[in-house]
Chain A
Amino acid sequence: MKEKFNIDQPHLRENPYTVPEGYFRSFQCSISERISHKDSKVGVWSLIKPQLALVSTFAIIFLMGYGAMQLFSPSTIESGSQTVVANTQSIEENHLETSFIDFFDEETDSLTKKKEIDPGQIIEYLNTDAGIVYLASLE
Chain B
Amino acid sequence: MDDKDLLALYKEEGKERYAFNLIVGKYSERLYWHIRKMVASHDDANDLLQNTFIKAWNALPEFREESKLFTWLYRIATNEVLTFLKRKQVRSFLSLTDYSKKLENVLESDLYFDGDATQKALHKAILKLPKKQRIVFNMRYFDEMKYEEISEILGTSVGALKASYHHATQKIQESLQELI
Contact = CB atoms under 8 A, between A and B. Distances in A.
Given A7-B122, A28-B28, A34-B54, A17 B33 contact: yes
Contacts of A38: 54, 57
Contact of A35 (B17, B115, B119, B172): B17
A81 to B, nearest CB: 63
Q: Which label, helix, strand, loop or mixed, suits the secondary structure of the A interface? A: helix
Contacts of B119: 11-12, 14, 16
Contact of A15 (B57, B120, B142, B180): B142
Interface string A11-46: 111111111100110011011101110110000000
Contacts of A2: 177
Nearest to B49: A27
A34 B49 CA distance: 13
Interface stretch (B7-15, B18-26, B97-105, B146-154): B18-26
Contacts of B33: 15, 17
Nearest to B33: A15
A95 interface: no
A24 B114 contact: no
Nearest to B17: A35
Interface string B114-138: 1110111011000000000000000
A57 B89 CA distance: 47
Contacts of B157: none
Contacts of A115: none
B164 interface: no
Q: Which label, helix, strand, loop or mixed, suits the secondary structure of the B interface? A: helix
Interface residues of A, number: 27
Given A17-B36, A27-B46, A35 B57 contact: yes
Contact of A17 (B25, B54, B112): B112
B42 A19 contact: yes
A64 B141 CA distance: 68
B82 interface: no
Please provide the 7 A-B residue pairs with the shortest distance between their CB atoms, ordered closest to farther: A16-B115, A5-B176, A18-B112, A16-B119, A31-B53, A5-B173, A31-B24
27 contacts: A2-B177, A5-B176, A7-B122, A7-B172, A7-B173, A12-B118, A15-B33, A16-B113, A16-B114, A16-B119, A16-B120, A17-B42, A17-B112, A17-B115, A19-B32, A20-B42, A24-B28, A24-B29, A27-B28, A27-B32, A27-B49, A31-B24, A31-B54, A32-B21, A35-B20, A38-B54, A39-B17
Given A12-B119, A16-B119, 16 more contacts: A5-B176, A5-B177, A7-B173, A11-B118, A11-B119, A14-B115, A16-B114, A17-B42, A19-B112, A20-B112, A23-B46, A27-B46, A32-B17, A34-B54, A35-B20, A35-B57
